Amino acid sequence: MNVILLSSVLNYRTLAGLSSKYRVHYLLPEQDMPQMELELRELDRLSSVHRRNLVVYPLGRFFVFGAFLKAFRLIGKGDVDLFFTAAPVLGFICRFFKVFYGKP
Identify the three-state secondary structure at position 10: coil
Ordered structural domains, the chain, with CATH: 2-101 (3.40.50)
Helices (H), 1-104: 12-21, 33-46, 48-52, 63-77, 91-101
φ, ψ (nearest 5 deg) of residue 67: -65, -40
Distance, CA of 71 to CA of 5 (rounded, Å): 10
pLDDT, tens digit, 9 for 90 and up, residues 3-30: 888 887 777 777 888 888 888 888 888 8
Identify the bridge partners of residue 57 per DSSP, sorted by sequence position.
Answer: 27
Distance, CA of 34 to CA of 8 (rounded, Å): 12
Residue 79 buriedness (CB in 10 A; 0-12 / 13-18 / 19+): middle
Residue 49 pLDDT: 63
pLDDT, tens digit, 9 for 90 and up, residues 34-89: 888 888 888 887 776 677 888 888 888 788 888 888 888 988 888 788 888 877 77
- Contact assessment for residue 95 and residue 34, using Cβ atoms and an 8 Å cutoff: no
> Structure pTM?
0.83
